[in-house]
Structure 1
């Protein structure tokens, strides 16, 4: 059987690894027949190379690497492929395929909406302002893509939505909250476009409190069924030898 290797970014914050591990546990629960392994690009163990080395030693002929990343930036386009190339040199008998990142799939936007609703709000609440908060980049094209995600995020709601960034780009979350208040938002929620909590989500929360102490901070995506669906889809699309019996939730 071809293992699914889920690759997370890694963080110094232990909450991040715990939530990623919970997401991977949800994948295993959905597909108990599948060999699912978790590893990290940096700051946490095991590393990508450690996991793939073990897979090769166990005699597997192939592995599919699914990056648990929301954007196709340096880690997905440069860092991870370089790691996989080193593994291929050491283990030429092991076929290693990298799937696409999770990206801006509409189901993940739905997961973020669910997290806002789970914070106690209705999608029909036209008085609610939502700061759709992402990492931010020095690449303006990447930021433009994030802003388009923020617009898509708002489509199925009556919310007022402003996209903001934790780093490297404007507006920050404080500026987004001020804009939302200026346009009539009576309450504000920060909706993190993050898979797991960590230093950057804490930064967003602290900045929001400075501007509006009553701001609510929704949970990250975490082990949402949409994430499970998408990871299994990425795996199936990259592993032609995998039996096509994956059950996706409605």
Structure 2
């Protein structure tokens, strides 16, 4: 990796890092980013939860869009502080465009403008291959329990949406596993880019005879998409809509599991 004399940094936008360069490699969490400030607050809360679960590790949030700092800026800041390595965790539920294109581009940008640093990128938080991590399911179940749906006979997994067929298939695997864990049918719905909508999915279940349909939100953070899903679900008479995963303990431990896979 090339190492020019000095990085291009944006004053006032980088997280301050003070302390010795020792111990575990620093961790950079990378979220999609949103104009909604609640999303950034949720990512910061998750970073604090991961840091609390892994004492002695520097854990810093970053965003691909809308919110500063970017992952490239954080990596440059860590390199300037003397770190030779870092681990980047994509806070993504599918391995679609952002994982395949945007995150490698951010790592390349940091390498082009900053000091040399070895950066490893973990798997996304969604399914890896055919496997749905039990910690992801546990986090979804916790949020749904908090929504107090009571007994339900059908479930909709509401996701943000993607045009990537592989990513949609991975969401389908989560829906199948989540429905099986409750012993009820579960269908996928999307807030954008793909059909059906949440309202349509709930209405179809009700037309098929389901009396109580709950909606599990397959989102990491609150924002306009989750708001839209909540409104559509309620208009379609869903019995409950769960909150995004945000900083649930299971999600923090899923991140630790991804880090463990890249340790050593």
TM-score where L is the length of structure 2: 0.83
Output the aligned Cα RMSD. 1.7
The reply on whether 1:220 has 2:244 as its aligned counterpart is yes
Structure 1 residues 141 and 73, CA, compared in 2 at 3 Å: closer, same or farther? closer
Where does residue 138 of structure 1 map in the other structure? 163
Where does residue 31 of structure 2 map in the other structure? 8
TM-score where L is the length of structure 1: 0.88
Q: CA deviation at 1:58?
A: 0.5
Q: Which runs of 4+ in 1 moved over 6 A?
A: none
Where does residue 233 of structure 1 map in the other structure? 257
| Alignment size in residue pairs | 236
The reply on whether 1:38 has 2:66 as its aligned counterpart is no
Q: Secondary structure of 2:87's match?
A: strand
2:87 to 43, 48, 64: 64
7-16 vs 143-152, greater mean Cα deviation: 143-152
2:138 to 103, 110, 116: 110
Q: CA deviation at 1:161?
A: 2.2
Q: Which runs of 5+ in 1 are unaligned?
A: 241-250
Q: Which runs of 5+ in 2 are unaligned?
A: 1-22, 128-132
Q: Secondary structure of 2:221's match?
A: coil
The reply on whether 1:202 has 2:227 as its aligned counterpart is yes
Structure 1 residues 129 and 38, CA, compared in 2 at 3 Å: closer, same or farther? same
Q: Secondary structure of 2:246's match?
A: coil
Q: CA deviation at 1:92?
A: 4.8
Structure 1 residues 137 and 50, CA, compared in 2 at 3 Å: closer, same or farther? same
Q: How far apart, in 2, do the equivalents of 1:67 and 1:144 lie? A: 19
Structure 1 residues 101 and 77, CA, compared in 2 at 3 Å: closer, same or farther? same
